[in-house]
Amino acid sequence: MTILVSGGAGFIGSNFVLDWLAQSDELLINLDNLTYAGNLENLSSLQNDPRHLFVHGDIGDSVLLASLLAQHQPRAVLNFAAESHVDRSIHGPAAFVETNIVGTFHLLEAVRAYWGTLDDGGKAAFRFLHVSTDEVYGSLSPEAAAFTEQHRYEPNSPYSASKAASDHLVRAYHHTYGLPVLTTNCSNNYGPYHFPEKLIPLMIVNALAGKPLPVYGDGQQIRDWLYVKDHCSAIRRVLEAGRTGEVYNIGGWNEKPNLEIVDTVCALLDELRPRADGASYRQQISYVTDRPGHDRRYAIDASKIALELGWKPAETFDTGIRKTVQWYLDNAQWVADVQSGVYRDWLEKNYTGRSA
């Protein structure tokens, strides 16, 4: 038995690969193009593990995809591969269109061709699971009900628009060709191996380096926060028992404004790694100009996956954020290694020159 995972060296993908192989002896083919956020160091513990076969390649490479599928005959394909940062999509939307839309199309085409070669039993058992985001639903007002699977798509950034397009392609391949697909739309993930451009790891890394902690606008943008290992367990459950053609929203039931997240990170660092001068890391908070089109609130209603599949998150935000901060404190070398020239250039491009 084999599964194929695309994007398995990124943040969520690598956590999924590690969690999967912690409880399964099934061969896992890991296809990743190792763009800026793909990091093989995340998977260093699997370096000599025969259950993990890493392939450096692009989901847009149809020849490679056909070869991998024919050779390994996976029972499932899970698509984590995506360009995923809103600010990056504002500065350079072309890469998001190419990977998230065109790449997903090529992956679907290769999988459709492979699925067509299977016998009836193989076709019935096969699954294509597409990992997406709550950002496809747009922005919520403060009093609005949380996103359900029936919420209208209203993407507001090149990133979310490209993910919305990929979701629609996946749905179309099920309804047009009968491909047995599953789609998950998750809320904001946090946890180990998160690339330090996203809010929580950026605050941790900057705080420890004595740098400003940049908060967009008034810091009251609200997100639902999901510990990444809870997300991985939800994906495993959807793959195991989800109904084909269905969408499952995955959330942590943790709506919090960004400023509260930053304040919590500072409080934990004050406790776990106090500043030498005894002052609070909160002194490093700096308000910067908001980004264009910044969605005000996301919130996930995860009732469907709870009722149909019996899944709920194991971590509260308090337990998950403590584990996350401690992980970054314990893995300073990983942080140092990921702070490449590309990373420093990105921070300079995105934050330098923003007015306070």
Catalytic residues: 134-135, 159
What contacts 268, CB < 8 A, 6 or more positions away? 321, 322, 325
Please choose, from the candidates 139, 296, 321, 138, the residue with its C-alpha nearest in 3D space to the C-alpha of residue 218. Answer: 296
Cα torsion through 231, 56, 193, 237, rounded to 10: 10
Please choose, from the candidates 157, 178, 159, 166, the residue with its C-alpha nearest in 3D space to the C-alpha of residue 60. Answer: 166
Place of tokens 């290769």: 110
Question: Distance (Å, rounded) from C-alpha 311 to C-alpha 93?
Answer: 35
Strands (E), the chain: 2-6, 27-32, 52-56, 76-79, 127-133, 181-186, 188-190, 213-216, 222-227, 247-250, 255-257, 285-288
Please choose, from the candidates 183, 185, 163, the residue with its C-alpha nearest in 3D space to the C-alpha of residue 173. Answer: 183
Question: Distance (Å, rounded) from C-alpha 47 to C-alpha 87?
Answer: 33
What is the dihedral sign for C-alpha 90, 141, 356, 278?
Answer: negative
Question: Distance (Å, rounded) from C-alpha 260 to C-alpha 221?
Answer: 10
Please choose, from the candidates 167, 186, 187, 184, the residue with its C-alpha nearest in 3D space to the C-alpha of residue 175. Answer: 167
